[in-house]
Chain A
Amino acid sequence: MSRIGIFICWCGENIARNVDVERAAAEVADLPGVVCSVAYKYMCSDPGQSLMRQKIVSERLTGVVVASCSPHMHLRTFRKAAAMAGLNPYLVEMANIREHCSWVHHDRQQATTKAVELIRMSVAKVRANAALQPISIPITRRALVIGGGVAGIQAALDIADSGREVVLVEREPSIGGKMAGLSETFPTLDCSQCILTPRMVDVGQHPNIRLYTYSEVEGVEGYVGNFKVTVRKKARYVDMDACTGCGQCWNACPSKKNLSEFDYQMGNRTAIYVPFPQAVPARPVIDRDACLHFLKGKCGICAKKCAANAVKFDDQDEVITEEVGAIVVATGFKLYSIDRDQASSKLAGYGEYGYGQYPDVVDALQFERIVSASGPTGGEIRRPSDGQQPKSVVFISCVGSRDNAKGISYCSKICCMYTAKHTMLYKHKVHDGQAHVFYMDIRSGGKNYDEFVRRAIEQDGAHYHRGRVSKITQENGKLIVRGVDTLVGEPLTIEADLVVLASAMQPAGGATELAQKLNVGYDEFGFLSESHPKLRPVETNAAGVFVCGACQGPKDIPESVAQASAAAGKVLVMFSNEQLSREPEVARINETNCAACFACVRACPYNAIERAEVRDRKGQLVKRTARVNPGLCMGCGTCVAICPSKSADLEGFTEQQVYAMVESLV
């Protein structure tokens, strides 16, 4: 039999003014299971709490109802107080007779009657409460960072610097990501490589970072604190440990005319190559599709030249398993492919701009390489077709972005800024050249951002035309750009030597597949979904998986870095304890009754319910069942409502408790 204590708070005059607390205390004193019912001036005060603690001991209470303010205000307070007196904190319930009663009902009679009913409801509930123990989950305090661009680098370094081990997985042969290929960065025009490469070196040398380049995450098992990740290290055909990165091999490689991925197909590289001189690790990789040894079965010059004996033509993919407790996803972006086949039928290209057809129509990342001192032109601005210096360059923004007709409704956020940057870099190198920009709106919110755009227009004389370009054609070696200047209200045709398209940002290839492996949600464009847009911006609905950088949505370098540090911070908060402690108010499944329809598995917003099997001692399958992973469950109870047989129930809000409350409303 329950022994319930009721503690009614006056809250000074706040409650007592409109609720006759003494009358209420008397009326509920006779409820079944109630052994004491008292009113007190301030229940949350020290004397109030100690009164409750005394009664818990002296009356041997098995449940407590505090009738006072909102549980959002003081449920924790009273649960803590109960725990101090030796009562399980989950045997405390509150009746909200202030916010929901005395403050909103001024008729004392009615308010008192309602207060009594609210208390009765809470008494009915607490009689069905169960003593719950916090759930603790051991955690592996080691993190996986997926993606070695600037966001991944930042996150990895922050976590590693705090003394925790990090596994960093990068798909390309070198870390550095998109930023490594940029020329200068807005709004300061500092050299991208100058600021990034020292951080890359830090990663390469960090004792707490295990770096896997040319590798991909193949599978993820487990859950928060306890992930098992399989990483496929692609065959590199170079022994990373033996190689000294001296360069003899790539200097001698006879297969020289292979398009460089790093230069976006505008330059060449050898078959055995490092993507760029500052690559980390500074170890080459052999491109099987270009290597004469693999293509024709002879050559092997690199192997002969290698003093370290590091070339291994028989290298194989290697699958490694890493145990980690948290995962940071920083897979970054790619550019919308303009006129090439679109991956999704929802997207349409821009055939009318002639990209891929006219060599002098390039995208923004290609232009970065054209401008870059380490680029294929050595930093001199020359156009791809004939190497001539363009005297007139047209920049088109919003290529794809904000264009519902092309299937992308969002703003890519960074193009206004880098386009301004491009016009400046161009003007700084081609003093007699003219930059034209076609734009829809200029979005330059950010510290020193708008000033930067103004500088491009006012100091560097870029011509900004508000309007869209309808078509680009080629005549006599010139690109004829036909557009409209809507501010002037007239069609506009510009003869250009080079056209640069600021095409939309898209999540990097494979991001959705990875998201599926991680059980992380993503939007219709493939950007990964954060758990809450405002309050949990780097968490995801998969506990222990965090996001940062452009894989979550278009953003620039400062934002990516900030978000990366935020994600690292969240990981470190998690790692600050050996055990993960979670509220026990989570769902559970009655496995005997579960019919294994798995509607709950589909519905669970946290993928916290798994398909499981019940086996007997001999290992024979007895039945299948849904099973809640308490480490992942957040306690929303969606599974309870969806379960037809009510085999799912939610601690703290069990069917017993909720029906007891409803049935007390008579």
Chain B
Amino acid sequence: MSETITRGALLQRVSVWIGGGKSVIGPRQVKPANGSGQEVPVQYGRVASAEELLLSGDTRPANSLKEFFFPRHEKLYGYQFKGRQIELTDTEQPSTEQIIVGGRPCDAAALPVLDHLFNWDYRDETFNRRRELTTIVTIACRSFDSHCFCTSVGSSPVDARGSDVLLLAVDAERYEVRFVTEKGRRLLNGATTTANENATEPAAPPKRFEMEQLKEFLAGGYERPEWKTTTLRCLGCGACAYTCPTCHCFDIVDEGNAAGGLRARNWDACQFGLFTLHASGHNPRHNQAERQRQRIHHKFQIYPDKFGETLCTGCGNCTRNCPVGLGVLSVVEAIAAAPRENQSQK
């Protein structure tokens, strides 16, 4: 026995939520305002109507869900010069309820991973507030592409971590509903029916590398030449980090003028050449190989050591969005498969 919901019933709920002033977020085709012919990817975004949502379970939005909890630009507080005094104004805490519909499980799975970071030595008010205000309905992936590798990092297309509700498509019109949290149950209360229909488990992408092999390499391969050879083509942009559901580096900037301004938290990315530039002029990571090594180490060694969780859900966004097809998967595949006898080689 399982719970099911029809597509119509779901969309009807969405319309009610939108009508009620809630922010509904989901994968949608970003249409350019003109018809210049430019192909525009599917992205997660706030929808104005239920019809915009793409709920087939086949979409792989180019962005991740993190920006709805940890936006790319977030005002921390404002300041005004008043004579010789500086007056600070607090930022209003978020208060709009958000409902994410049609998220990918791998995107949702990143959120509990990020919870560690935002609640470690300092409890981040706005992040946690947004987490509380948000309910997440994910749809199990019905398909995968060559960049998907959730199974390699211990996840799967039906991974319910981070989701409040996980839907599995039964057919084009119906979903099997798996409630993960009470919050999720409350959200769809009354919209589901009990039926004796279970969705077939979707096919999972093949395992691309062995985590154990990777960890072994990371433990002893800091100076391995593969770091350089596999990352030569990296251009040093932030496309991987900014579309990654788990990357969370940020920069604190002041923006203002003679009257006042604001202090903000902006996304930052470890592949930028100036990311680690010190005020002295020294830059400890002075080439892309070192920056890529840092990225992989952070995801698979440093973060797990600190928080017990891998900082990667295998969504494949990094590789998919990389201008030169370089991402966690391509680097890790290469190094995990590197011959072992070279382990000690400098």
Chain A positions within 8 Å of B, measured between CB atoms, are: 30, 32, 120, 124, 592, 660, 663-666
Q: Which residues of B contact A124 (CB under 8 A)?
A: 258
User: Are the CB atoms of A664 and B257 closer together than 8 Å?
Assistant: yes
Q: Which residues of B contact A120 (CB under 8 A)?
A: 258
Say how far B281's CB is from chain A's closest CB, in angstroms. 8
The 15 listed contacts between A and B (C-beta, < 8 Å) are A30-B84, A32-B81, A32-B84, A120-B258, A124-B258, A592-B281, A660-B258, A663-B256, A663-B257, A664-B257, A664-B258, A665-B258, A666-B257, A666-B258, A666-B259
Say how far B86's CB is from chain A's closest CB, in angstroms. 9
Q: Which residues of A contact B256 (CB under 8 A)?
A: 663
Cα A664 to Cα B261 with chains together (Å):
12
Cα A200 to Cα B84 with chains together (Å):
75
Flag whether B83 is at the interface (Cβ < 8 A): yes
A-B pairs with lowest CB-CB distance, top 4: A30-B83, A663-B257, A664-B258, A666-B259
Whose C-beta in chain B lies nearest to the C-beta of A33? Answer: B84
| Chain A CB within 10 Å, residue with most, of B81, B84, B258, B281 | B258
Q: Which residues of B contact A665 (CB under 8 A)?
A: 258
Whose C-beta in chain B lies nearest to the C-beta of A34? Answer: B84
User: Are the CB atoms of A663 and B258 closer together than 8 Å?
Assistant: yes
Say how far A599's CB is from chain B's closest CB, in angstroms. 22
Say how far B127's CB is from chain A's closest CB, in angstroms. 31
CB-contacts of B224-257 with A (<8 A): 256-257
Say how far A38's CB is from chain B's closest CB, in angstroms. 18
Q: Which residues of A contact B258 (CB under 8 A)?
A: 120, 124, 660, 663-666
Whose C-beta in chain A lies nearest to the C-beta of B85? Answer: A30
Say how far A554's CB is from chain B's closest CB, in angstroms. 56
Cα A591 to Cα B256 with chains together (Å):
29
Cα A666 to Cα B259 with chains together (Å):
6
Say how far B269's CB is from chain A's closest CB, in angstroms. 20
Whose C-beta in chain A lies nearest to the C-beta of B84? Answer: A30
Cα A663 to Cα B259 with chains together (Å):
9
Q: Which residues of A contact B257 (CB under 8 A)?
A: 663-664, 666
Say how far A59's CB is from chain B's closest CB, in angstroms. 16
Q: Which residues of A contact B83 (CB under 8 A)?
A: 30
Cα A32 to Cα B80 with chains together (Å):
12
Say how far B287's CB is from chain A's closest CB, in angstroms. 16
Say how far B78's CB is from chain A's closest CB, in angstroms. 14
Cα A120 to Cα B258 with chains together (Å):
9
CB-contacts of B256-275 with A (<8 A): 256-259
Whose C-beta in chain B lies nearest to the C-beta of A660? Answer: B258
Cα A8 to Cα B256 with chains together (Å):
28
Cα A663 to Cα B257 with chains together (Å):
5
Cα A124 to Cα B258 with chains together (Å):
8
Cα A666 to Cα B256 with chains together (Å):
10
Say how far B260's CB is from chain A's closest CB, in angstroms. 8
Whose C-beta in chain B lies nearest to the C-beta of A29? Answer: B83
Say how far A126's CB is from chain B's closest CB, in angstroms. 13
Say how far A408's CB is from chain B's closest CB, in angstroms. 52
Whose C-beta in chain B lies nearest to the C-beta of A662? Answer: B257
Cα A235 to Cα B280 with chains together (Å):
60
Say how far A5's CB is from chain B's closest CB, in angstroms. 16
Q: Which residues of A contact B259 (CB under 8 A)?
A: 666
Q: Which residues of A contact B84 (CB under 8 A)?
A: 30, 32
Cα A259 to Cα B51 with chains together (Å):
98
Cα A124 to Cα B256 with chains together (Å):
14
Say how far A322's CB is from chain B's closest CB, in angstroms. 43
Say how far B279's CB is from chain A's closest CB, in angstroms. 14
| Chain A CB within 10 Å, residue with most, of B83, B257, B281 | B257
Q: Which residues of B contact A663 (CB under 8 A)?
A: 256-258
Say how far A54's CB is from chain B's closest CB, in angstroms. 24
Say how far A658's CB is from chain B's closest CB, in angstroms. 14
Cα A454 to Cα B81 with chains together (Å):
80
Cα A120 to Cα B84 with chains together (Å):
14
Q: Which residues of B contact A592 (CB under 8 A)?
A: 281
Say how far A665's CB is from chain B's closest CB, in angstroms. 8
Cα A581 to Cα B281 with chains together (Å):
34
Q: Which residues of B contact A660 (CB under 8 A)?
A: 258
Cα A30 to Cα B257 with chains together (Å):
16
Whose C-beta in chain A lies nearest to the C-beta of B82? Answer: A30
Cα A32 to Cα B83 with chains together (Å):
7
Cα A30 to Cα B259 with chains together (Å):
13
Say how far B85's CB is from chain A's closest CB, in angstroms. 9
Q: Which residues of A contact B281 (CB under 8 A)?
A: 592
Cα A663 to Cα B255 with chains together (Å):
11
Cα A32 to Cα B84 with chains together (Å):
6
Given contacts A30-B84, A663-B257, A664-B258, 14 further A-B contacts (CB under 8 A): A30-B83, A32-B81, A32-B84, A120-B258, A124-B258, A592-B281, A660-B258, A663-B256, A663-B258, A664-B257, A665-B258, A666-B257, A666-B258, A666-B259
